[in-house]
Homo-oligomer: A and B are copies of this chain.
């Protein structure tokens, strides 16, 4: 789960990371009032779950409260990578002497959180890693021991020579690590970490992603979720306990299991179609999930055909068949449906479907080809 910059900054501030003061505004007037309170120059920053805010014009410097209001009125409502800006952060501007990058990611290869720091800050760390890897220090942390003092010091010395700045940076590393661990993060980033003209080391921007699996343990983080920043259909799916990702194609896919769901999408593409979504109804046989899945997918006007691909293991295929019947009785389908199912209770499922006027196949390739053809407005093969 992604959270906004201002939320990430609150989590870091709680651990003692020095961050310029700031508040969020959802109207230009609020932005002006905050700027007035802060005094001096401020930065108005769009709060959206998208990179490249600066390039998109979502981050602007204001010299006066009036200018802050003016800029906020331009940024609020702006669309960045398809996402509407509902909130801006108004924060005191800093006089920057130098910029560095500090981040922690959960690394699969080392099976550890890994610090990445670079004195080449304010940049795309992936690009630096690809082009000039020597400019990055990568330091895996053994969570059994935590970030040790000598490691924090090593990270600090990689960025700075001056002991005072090294110590300040080391303290920030410790705080960033604490924030990462306490909040079950999968990524925590300060970019840029800046040295001000006065010589202070502070965090100007911050990003934290939370491991979705941690949310049960952290209801206070679940509360940070901003549903207005997400696709409405994906919010709907999550609340229906479905794993759903919206795409641009026209073949709506309903599958059990993530791997099979991806393989089904790939096969749609293989046979010349375009998948409209990723959707995993999971391992349980709850017919209600089928009903919700159909509702969410058919709500998308660009979906031209529906493809069910169910391999019954734990999932009972007769439950899925019943779900299809129930859903289509309540809301008759306006687009064609292709059903492939095999495995647990396959015969019962086939009978249920046939009795209710559906046809079904047990062959995955055949079903996918048929769905692709139907989506293109052609006949079933």
* Minimal Cβ-Cβ distance residue in B for A144: B144
Complex: how many Å from CA A241 to CA B145? 33
Residues 305-361 of A at the B interface (beta carbon under 8 Å):
none
Nearest-neighbour CB distance to chain B for A98, whole angstroms, equals 35
* Minimal Cβ-Cβ distance residue in B for A142: B144
Complex: how many Å from CA A211 to CA B145? 21
Nearest-neighbour CB distance to chain B for A311, whole angstroms, equals 35
Which residues in B have their C-beta under 8 angstroms from that of A145? Answer: 144
Nearest-neighbour CB distance to chain B for A142, whole angstroms, equals 9
Which residues in B have their C-beta under 8 angstroms from that of A144? Answer: 144-145
Nearest-neighbour CB distance to chain B for A333, whole angstroms, equals 49
Complex: how many Å from CA A145 to CA B144? 6
Complex: how many Å from CA A237 to CA B145? 37
Residues 119-167 of A at the B interface (beta carbon under 8 Å):
144-145
Complex: how many Å from CA A89 to CA B144? 40
Nearest-neighbour CB distance to chain B for A66, whole angstroms, equals 51
Mask: chain A, 91-133; 1 = CB below 8 Å from B; 0 = not: 0000000000000000000000000000000000000000000
Complex: how many Å from CA A178 to CA B186? 27
Complex: how many Å from CA A144 to CA B145? 6
* Minimal Cβ-Cβ distance residue in B for A146: B144
Complex: how many Å from CA A145 to CA B146? 11
Complex: how many Å from CA A182 to CA B313? 49
Complex: how many Å from CA A202 to CA B180? 36
Nearest-neighbour CB distance to chain B for A140, whole angstroms, equals 16
Complex: how many Å from CA A144 to CA B144? 5
Complex: how many Å from CA A145 to CA B145? 9
Complex: how many Å from CA A144 to CA B142? 10
Complex: how many Å from CA A9 to CA B321? 62
* Minimal Cβ-Cβ distance residue in B for A143: B144
Residues 274-328 of A at the B interface (beta carbon under 8 Å):
none
Nearest-neighbour CB distance to chain B for A145, whole angstroms, equals 7
Residue pairs across A and B with Cβ atoms less than 8 A apart, 2 shown, are A144-B144, A144-B145
